[in-house]
Amino acid sequence: MPSMTRNAIVVDLNRCIGCFGCEVACKQENDVPLGQYWSRVTPVGPNGTFPNIEQYWLPTMCQQCVGAPCVEVCPTGASYRDEETGVVLIDQENCIGCESCLSACPYGVRALNEAESVVGKCTLGKPLTDKGELPACVKACCGEARFYGDLDDPESDVSKLVASYDEADRHQLADSGNGPSTIYLLSPKFATWVSDDAVQVSNA
């Protein structure tokens, strides 16, 4: 049986200008309810002492965890991993709105649509990528800071981009055994990566 792909988003924080275009594109493409976000941009900083001040912008969305705790705790199987693409998704027809996955997600990137009693989250642009297009957030990024592809394919654009950076410049959110797939690229000449605990994002 062929192995699944490991599709993910790679964000070059050296290029992100905090324009919130990805937030807007995500909400528009997915009709995300008012006050909720499937993708959120958070300022990290400013840190340091004048004149040595640093700040960067951190877009946070579903991290497409290798060992997704949201899938493990879902009582109905509504949270699942697509066998073809490897993307963690939600079957909203089977979702009962119990919010178990919200509690299990280490990053607070899922949200309950109270009007429909179902949970929503980043789909990694699956409706678009199924048609051969890029996710809306990637297409909308005016700084060309967001990239999409298969991290397990050494010939993919995302793999080549990650490989072009030193290992010390590759970062991920805190890993408690769930194995986040999203990679953030940040060079120390631009800013210093801040401890993940200080930049958690929540829809609460």
How many C-beta atoms lie closer than 10 Å to residue 10's C-beta?
Answer: 24
Structure confidence at residue 1 (pLDDT): 37
Tokens of 5: 């792909």
**Interatomic CA distance for residues 10 and 184, integer angstroms:** 6
**Interatomic CA distance for residues 151 and 157, integer angstroms:** 9
Structure confidence at residue 9 (pLDDT): 95
Q: What is the mean pLDDT of each run of 10 residues along the chain (204 residues)?
A: 75 96 96 93 93 94 96 97 92 96 95 94 94 96 96 93 95 94 95 70 49
**Interatomic CA distance for residues 18 and 143, integer angstroms:** 9
Hey, what amino acid is at 25?
A
**Interatomic CA distance for residues 100 and 5, integer angstroms:** 27
Helices marked H in the chain: 21-30, 69-73, 100-104, 126-129, 136-140, 157-163
Pairing between β-strand 7-12 and β-strand 183-185 as defined by DSSP bridges: parallel
Tell me which H or E stretch contains 120: strand 118-120
Structure confidence at residue 92 (pLDDT): 93
Query: pTM, whole model, 2 decimals?
Result: 0.91
Which domains are assigned to the chain?
7-66+122-199 (3.30.70.20)
**Interatomic CA distance for residues 50 and 184, integer angstroms:** 26
Structure confidence at residue 203 (pLDDT): 52
Structure confidence at residue 64 (pLDDT): 96
CA dihedral 112, 117, 122, 128 (to 10 degrees): -160
Structure confidence at residue 2 (pLDDT): 46
